[in-house]
Structure 1
């Protein structure tokens, strides 16, 4: 049943004549009559009958006009609630973060949002490659991801992307390593070292491989581990060295040193479906992510 036609019927019940309805709705009388005939065809029962030079509602028409009050009232309440969602940050915001990004940003992000009682963040950690990110925006309002310095940006025709921060990648060495006191470290000096790196296709491994191409120094990768906390522990115990993000590492016994003469870093980004950031609750979470990332990078 067409809601607009129900409104026309309700107006006729209130105002009594088609002419009065037409004036109230800024329609022509013929347009009002056409809407009433269309509604009558929809419900399959006569809603009006001739009354002198005008029309009046039948019993069925009166019943439907009265029920229309309930329907239109409910729709008005729904519209009012929707207006509150449009203007006031509220509701659930589904956020996916890659694990080390969650370690870096999530606890203080949730603290920043603690006074936003109407906004609830539903977090999931997702070990993602850049190619998987656009697909994840179908399930999440915000996808916090990372890519290396030389990776292409995300397709702006598919998603919106906001840079949160650029995190340098340093070589992680055990405290007793001969190069632990050197700052910076030349990649060539690390030839023959045993490297621990994430799986192929993940951003930090992409950086390590791109550095190898540019410098001609091919790293020997002895372990593939995606959890940086495990990698840090292995480095601290002398089982290898690694390329790790500067702001994320906090394991005692691990020394971070920048690489000499090369640009090594990862871009941490918040990716959303096109236009979804217009929702106030999503915008609040994005703003909090940007603020937290700015605090981390200072």
Structure 2
């Protein structure tokens, strides 16, 4: 089977539609469909079937995509060998980080990357739901994402996952709130509070709903804001309480916001760097993953968790 067509099949698996694949690869939708039909003939079995006006993978198609990862990863290792002969990792690595990870990790990543001649980092921030990460990893080289530690959305094995941080989620309280005098806070202490939550389906919403089930409480969501910087302002102004990440929240030593651990339950988000397996074999990408891990270690050390 043709490797280029295998790449197109993988793009369909990650992007979900022929139109999205065509836009990403600068093909026409009909050209993408034709390439996939040819690949099915090469394989001797239907890899896609019509789905409305588009195509979707068959079970055989999904199995071929899983096997294709081994082929594409092997090609990535070949690139690594060639780069090793050149003597150093080089090239542009495209990195996407969700906004609070960018606040926490990006300055240090750029500082560390500046010490490597030939490496160029092209970074942007984008907050993604876990189900959006595979498509993002098709466009970027590294996607820094986060999710509830009780769930693992990347169990299929088609993505390379590098753990970076377990960041505790604390209760954020307005200055002068009566519970701010405590060392920690139980969710049952907050049943009458207005919560500043995030959009349904986003990682911290998953955590809050999970904690509600564990404690038997039903948090009252007053506002849903995905930008933690805005949430910080609302909490600081007394418009509610929130779950906010311990390391990346600008609480200014409790002068702006009081952060208190949750009593009796563990609440945290896992921060992870996700790449396609073949991309992870590129020397420059491996270097960036190492630099991200080093910066994450430095964050833990700064916060006394090293």
TM over 0.5: yes
Q: CA deviation at 1:157?
A: 2.4
Q: 1: CA distance between counterparts of 2:110 and 2:263?
A: 37
Report what 1:257 is aligned to. Answer: 260
SS of the residue 1:179 aligns to: helix
Q: In 1, are the aligned partners of 2:137 and 2:276 still within 8 Å (CA)?
A: yes
Report what 1:178 is aligned to. Answer: 178
RMSD: 1.7
Instruction: State TM-score, norm by structure 1.
Output: 0.71
The correspondence of residues 111-260 of structure 1 with structure 2, limited to 5 A, is 111-251=111-251, 252-260=255-263
The superposition leaves residues 94-146 of structure 1 with CA deviations (integer Å, 9 ceiling, x where unpaired) of 11101111011001110111111200011111110011111211101111000
Alignment CA distance shift 1:137-1:85 (3 Å): farther
Q: 2: CA distance between counterparts of 1:194 and 1:132?
A: 29
Instruction: State TM-score, norm by structure 2.
Output: 0.69
Number of corresponding residues? 219
Q: CA deviation at 1:156?
A: 4.5
The answer to whether 1:295 aligns with 2:298 is yes
SS of the residue 1:180 aligns to: helix
Q: 1: CA distance between counterparts of 2:156 and 2:87?
A: 26
Q: CA deviation at 1:83?
A: 4.5
The superposition leaves residues 210-255 of structure 1 with CA deviations (integer Å, 9 ceiling, x where unpaired) of 1011111101111111111110111011010000000011134200
Which structure would you say has the larger Rg? 1
The correspondence of residues 28-43 of structure 1 with structure 2, limited to 5 A, is none
Q: 1: CA distance between counterparts of 2:181 and 2:83?
A: 60
Report what 1:48 is aligned to. Answer: none
With 213-222 and 250-259 compared, the bigger mean Cα shift is at 250-259
Gaps spanning 5+ residues in structure 1: where? 1-78
SS of the residue 1:138 aligns to: helix
Q: 2: CA distance between counterparts of 1:83 and 1:256?
A: 46
Q: 2: CA distance between counterparts of 1:167 and 1:293?
A: 10
Q: In 2, are the aligned partners of 1:87 and 1:280 still within 8 Å (CA)?
A: no
Q: In 2, are the aligned partners of 1:86 and 1:279 still within 8 Å (CA)?
A: no
Q: 2: CA distance between counterparts of 1:264 and 1:222?
A: 21
Q: In 1, are the aligned partners of 2:83 and 2:89 still within 8 Å (CA)?
A: no
Q: 1: CA distance between counterparts of 2:188 and 2:84?
A: 60
Q: 1: CA distance between counterparts of 2:112 and 2:219?
A: 41
Alignment CA distance shift 1:86-1:241 (3 Å): farther
The superposition leaves residues 170-212 of structure 1 with CA deviations (integer Å, 9 ceiling, x where unpaired) of 0000111010011111110100100001111111111001101
Q: In 2, are the aligned partners of 1:198 and 1:226 still within 8 Å (CA)?
A: yes
Alignment CA distance shift 1:291-1:156 (3 Å): farther
